[in-house]
């Protein structure tokens, strides 16, 4: 479909943001790809929003931030721009140059022994019990514990971090005003926390990530106070949420497809490719927003400067024009150029860390708990936007700690 402002497009848009879509996104992805790969419709706030589903179009938009801008597009309680996400090239590059070495493949390889040790300590907490809430007891603490170790922040601060995360990304409220107030309060609390922690690292550096930011320079000058807060705010949200959501997505799929789980248990060498394929097929971050800076068009649909654009990463990752048998999970898939980490200049800063966390977590979990299933009382519901469960109960054969 290539027509502007259609009721059909608006209807499909509503489905995209529903809980039903988050639980089983593939039918709506296919509907979008087949019927309205570029849909333009009026938003509830006035103006127009455009949804883009095809792989080639999403990839094009990600590679051209001069047209599809990320500048200040994410406003979720933050009082300062989230850096480097909220700035475009060329300014974007100077912040990446500061942070990229902390997330390089080489640095991640150095962290791997510590990451596996932390993962096994978490598994020790429930492995002898024969059951667990995977989301609460594994998917949440794994990336959170690693994030705190990477940044040099105290582990005892984790509970309040998780409250701030949830009040920012999945706030509960009876009205839009109540939700926004909760996000704003969380944003203020996050930034106040990092004011104190950055001051501590300025006075007593420890060589970890927060120290890098506290003493960071760009263009030969020290980072400003706002720049430091923008970096730490973004890192907290990214470090505590998306890997948790990804682990939830992966384990639900494998619990519901025991043949695929058994293939990984029988052949652990498949895990790196399986992580990539499950990132594609189960894409946890379903969409990313952009703002159009100049009039353009995609596939014959006119888009005006000022329009908001939603790039449907999940739909792009199931586009059969890019992925043969896209609806099927193939651990031996070749040329898996999925967009789960985005693309272009704004490609996820922490993608190498995320891959390390996912690979280590999945390998160690399946090494120690090879046979598991969803508990009979479990009802799986994923949150829309970023697909994360609230509860994920597993039953398995109790084992002896071996970490």
The mean pLDDT value for 26-52 works out to 83
Q: Which residues are registered as beta bridge partners of 303?
A: 296
Q: Which domains does the chain have, with CATH numbers?
A: 7-396 (1.10.630.10)
Rounded distance between C-alpha atoms, residue 157 and residue 70, angstroms: 31
Rounded-to-integer distance, Cα 47 and Cα 30, Å: 27
Label residue 41 by pLDDT band (50, 70, 90): confident
Residues 386 and 282: their CA atoms lie apart, in Å, by 11
Q: Taking the CB of residue 128, how many other CB atoms lie within 10 A of it?
A: 10
Local structure of residue 270 (DSSP, 8 states):
G
pLDDT of 387: 96
Confidence of residue 46 (pLDDT cuts 50, 70, 90): low
pLDDT of residue 401: 56
d(CA 324, CA 145): 37
* Whether the Cβ atoms of residue 359 and residue 112 lie closer than 8 Å to each other: no
Reference 370, options 247, 229, 238, 267; nearest CA is 267
Are 226 and 244 within 8 A, CB to CB?
A: no
pTM of this prediction?
0.93
From the list 107, 169, 180, the residue with the least C-alpha distance to 140 is: 169
Strands 48-52 and 308-311: parallel
> Angle at the Cα of 168 (from 137 to 144), degrees rounded to 5?
30
* CB contact at 8 A, 171 and 210: no
Model confidence at 399, pLDDT cuts 50, 70, 90, reads: low
User: For the CA atoms of 353, 358, 359, 363, what is the dihedral angle to 10 degrees?
Assistant: 150
Reading the block at residue 342, the tokens are 């985005």
| Geometric angle at alpha carbon 62, from 60 and 67, rounded to 5° | 80
Mean pLDDT of 3-32: 75
Which range has the worst mean pLDDT, 81-95, 148-162, 387-401? 387-401
Q: What angle do CA 80, 17, 36 make, to 5 degrees?
A: 110
Indicate the pLDDT class of residue 403, thresholds 50, 70 and 90: very low
For residue 293, which of 72, 94, 143, 100 has the smallest C-alpha distance? 72
Question: Residue 137, CB half-sphere, CA atoms under 13 Å: how many?
Answer: 18
Among 10-24, 69-83, 359-373, name the one with the lowest average pLDDT: 10-24
Biggest alpha carbon distance in the chain?
A: 62
pLDDT higher than threshold 70 for residue 167: yes
Distance, in Å, from the CA atom of 165 to the CA atom of 150, rounded to the nearest integer, reads 18
Inter-residue contact 202 to 215 (CB < 8 Å): yes
Q: What integer pLDDT is reported at residue 43 of this predicted model?
A: 60
**Helix axes 141-151 and 158-169, enclosed angle (nearest 10):** 110
* Residues with catalytic roles: 170, 241-242, 348-350
Phi-psi region of 32 (alpha: psi -120 to 50; beta: other; left: phi over 0): alpha
Return d(Cα 285, Cα 269) in angstroms, integer.
Answer: 26
Q: Are the C-beta atoms of residues 235 and 210 closer than 8 Å to each other?
A: no
Instruction: Provide, rounded to the nearest whole percent, the portion of the chain with pLDDT above 90.
Output: 84
- Using the predicted structure, report yes or no on whether residue 133 has a pLDDT greater than 80: yes
Picking from 143, 48, 68, the residue whose alpha carbon sits closest to that of residue 293 is 68
118-138 mean pLDDT = 97
C-alpha angle 335-241-29 in degrees, rounded to nearest 5? 50
What's the CA gap between 155 and 247, in Å, rounded? 21
Q: How many residues does the structure list for the chain?
A: 403
């Amino acid at each position: 479909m290539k027509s502007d402002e259609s009721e059909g497009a608006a209807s499909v848009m509503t489905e995209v943001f529903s809980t039903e879509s988050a639980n089983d996104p593939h039918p709506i992805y296919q509907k979008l790809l087949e019927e309205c790969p570029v849909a333009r419709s009026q938003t509830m706030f006035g103006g127009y929003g455009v949804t883009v589903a095809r792989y080639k179009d999403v990839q094009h938009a990600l590679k051209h931030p001069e047209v599809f801008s990320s500048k200040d597009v994410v406003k979720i309680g933050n009082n300062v721009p989230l850096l480097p996400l909220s700035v475009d090239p060329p300014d974007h590059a100077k912040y990446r140059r500061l942070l990229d070495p902390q997330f390089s493949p080489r640095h991640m390889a150095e962290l791997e022994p510590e990451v596996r040790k932390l993962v096994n300590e978490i598994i020790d907490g429930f492995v002898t019990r024969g059951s667990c809430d995977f989301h609460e007891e594994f998917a949440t603490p794994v990336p959170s514990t690693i994030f705190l170790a990477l940044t040099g922040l105290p582990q005892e601060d984790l509970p309040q971090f998780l409250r701030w995360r949830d009040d920012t990304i999945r706030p509960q409220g009876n009205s839009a005003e109540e939700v926004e107030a909760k996000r704003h309060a969380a944003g203020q609390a996050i930034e106040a926390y990092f004011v104190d922690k950055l001051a501590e690292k300025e006075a007593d550096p420890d060589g970890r990530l927060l120290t890098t930011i506290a003493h960071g320079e760009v263009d030969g000058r020290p980072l400003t106070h706002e720049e430091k807060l923008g970096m730490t705010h973004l890192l907290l949200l990214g470090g505590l949420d998306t890997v948790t959501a990804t682990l939830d997505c992966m384990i639900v799929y494998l619990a519901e497809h025991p043949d695929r789980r058994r293939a990984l248990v029988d052949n652990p060498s498949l895990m790196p490719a399986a992580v990539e394929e499950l990132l594609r097929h189960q894409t946890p971050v379903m969409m990313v927003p952009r703002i159009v800076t100049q009039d353009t068009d995609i596939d014959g649909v006119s888009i005006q400067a000022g329009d908001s654009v939603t790039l449907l990463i999940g739909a792009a990752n199931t586009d059969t024009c890019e992925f043969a048998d896209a609806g099927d999970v193939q651990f031996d898939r070749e040329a898996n150029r999925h967009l789960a980490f985005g693309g272009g200049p704004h490609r996820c800063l922490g993608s190498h860390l995320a891959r390390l966390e996912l690979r280590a977590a999945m390998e160690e979990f399946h090494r120690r708990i090879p046979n598991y299933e969803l508990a009979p009382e479990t009802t799986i519901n994923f949150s829309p936007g970023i697909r994360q469960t609230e509860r994920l109960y597993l039953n398995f054969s109790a084992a002896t700690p071996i970490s």
